Amino acid sequence: MKIGSLFYSTLNNKCPRCHQGDVFKHQNPYRLKDMFGMHTHCSHCQLKYEREPSFFYGAMYASYGLTAGWFIVWYFIDKFFLGLDPLGFALGIAVSIILMSPLSVRWSRMIWLNIFNKYEGNMRAGAGLGEPER
């Protein structure tokens, strides 16, 4: 897995295999009623996103890592710049985690997809079998 392709796919919500099709039905993660709305297949290479029932339960591991990373960032910002008391720190981290949760849900699903599907370069539209364009 190339790190550049992981970041591109995750931040742009694109198919991890072809980087062409959209994974989510709506690009705005803060549209809360449609936050989990995903396409079943890539519109370009026909990759099936949910490989098996409950596939995205595994994305909770990625979400845990993202939340732990956010806590570490908050700790260093507080230690070196803010100097909040423990209650202020706890409130700051809680509010920021709540505000970041729609992004965290999407990013964790995209990271999970990228773990199981590698980028295969230029794919023919509708190839379905993962054959690169020649």
pLDDT at 127: 54
Domain residue ranges of the chain, discontinuous segments joined by +: 3-116
Shortest CA distance to 125 belongs to which of 6, 49, 42, 44? 44
- Owner of token pair 């992004």: 103
pLDDT digits (tens, 9 = 90+) for 8-38: 999 999 999 999 999 999 999 999 888 889 9
User: How many CA atoms are closer than 13 Å to the CA of 13, on its beta-carbon side?
Assistant: 17
pLDDT tens for each residue of 84-133: 999 999 999 999 999 999 999 999 999 999 999 988 876 666 555 444 44
Note the pLDDT tens digit of each residue in 63-79: 999 999 999 999 999 99
Distance CA 17, CA 33 (A): 27
Instruction: Tell me the whole-structure pTM to 2 decimals.
Output: 0.82
Q: What contacts 24+ positions apart, CB below 8 Å, involve 34-41? A: 35/102, 35/105, 35/106, 36/105, 38/109
* Residue pair 115/1 in contact by the 8 Å Cβ criterion: yes
With 90 as the cut, is the pLDDT of residue 58 above it?
yes
pLDDT band of residue 5 (cuts 50, 70, 90) is: confident
For the chain, the average pLDDT equals 87
Angle value at C-alpha 33, between 29 and 35, nearest 5 degrees: 30
